[in-house]
Amino acid sequence: MLAIMLSAPVLLGGAVPVHAVQPVEILADPEQEARARARSKGLRCLVCRNESIDESNADLARDLRLLVRERIVEGDSYEEVIAFVVDRYG
């Protein structure tokens, strides 16, 4: 039992970070998905400000992730995606 308790911090310390992105949100094109993830990691959630929209489980963060992906599919550049979100949400 003591061995299990002592090994728990080691096991937990090596855990992979969990992202809030759901499988249904992921774009089919790997390049577009990579661009979406990069932008989502740079935008902060308006509900839980200490997390990016990529990490947040808030409903608004999910809506923003979908919006970012929609703009990328439309062909927007990095700057255009950010400008669109900032213009719309502040």
49 assigned to some structural domain = yes
64 assigned to some structural domain = yes
Q: What is the pLDDT of residues 35-76, one digit of tens each?
A: 999 999 999 998 987 899 999 999 999 999 999 999 999 999
79 assigned to some structural domain = yes
Tell me which residue range forms the domain holding 65: 21-89
In single-letter form, the type of residue at position 51 comes to E
What does residue 52 show for φ and ψ, rounded to 5 degrees?
Answer: -80, 165
| Predicted structure pTM score | 0.75
Going by the DSSP 8-state scheme, the letter that residue 52 receives in this structure is B
**Number of structural domains found in the chain:** 1
Neighbouring C-alpha atoms within 13 Å toward the C-beta of 90: 2
3 assigned to some structural domain = no
16 assigned to some structural domain = no
53 assigned to some structural domain = yes
Q: List the CATH number of the domain containing 43.
A: 1.10.8.640
Does 10 score more than 50 pLDDT? Answer: no
